[in-house]
Structure 1
Amino acid sequence: MKGQVQSIFCAVLIAAFLATLVPLSAPAAQVRQCSAAVPKSAKGHWSWRMIDGRKCWYSGKAVIPRSALRWPAVAPAQAKAPAAAAVTTVSVAPVKRSDPMEAQAQMTDDADSFESRWQLRVVSR
């Protein structure tokens, strides 16, 4: 009987400890908006995480999972662009890379090349 009471007491302590780490009443991870830089009027501590290859700044010291951070749908710089400006897309053709095992050295017949000048130096002595 004493062993059962101790095990129940330990289970209650562990459950209470886990409840303090993750409160049951807390909402699921809240999505926060990313900022490209810390605002000048910002107060308090700001942290950042790498999201989509850019620094995502958010307020607070806590480490927030990447899935809870989002970039705004329209970046502020894009929102300020005039509506009449035409957006042009540029397509770039992929560069065909050659096989390095098929590379061959080529000698030029240039009279001003290093090899020709070196040979003239040696021969003229």
Structure 2
Amino acid sequence: MKRQFSFIPLAARIATFLLIGMPTAQAKQQCSAVMPPNPREYWSWRLIDGRKCWYEGKPMLSKSLLEWPVRISTQARPTEELASALIEKPSDPIGSEEWTPSRQNTFDALWRTRVEQR
């Protein structure tokens, strides 16, 4: 009798090996500027962006899995600054002083002086 070879068990074994060997997707860990004072787990650090990035876990974790937390700026954004600068604020007419040029600084006086010098 001839023995028949079944491909189904072979395919199942190959699929199992492939699934076991596939790396799982890992979420990025947030860096901390300092190590916690009383850590419950093992903490390590890597140099990221010129600073020590403390993280919970084993040493030599890939740098691609570490990130600094996003800082939210409390300063006004440039567009907000421009918008606030464009809004005219009402002035106090009582406290304002109008500048009037002296007789020497008027356009006519300056023009005459220039024409007479030629």
Please indicate, yes or no, whether the TM-score normalized by the shorter chain is above 0.5: no
TM-score normalised over the length of structure 2:
0.42
TM-score normalised over the length of structure 1:
0.40
Larger radius of gyration: 2
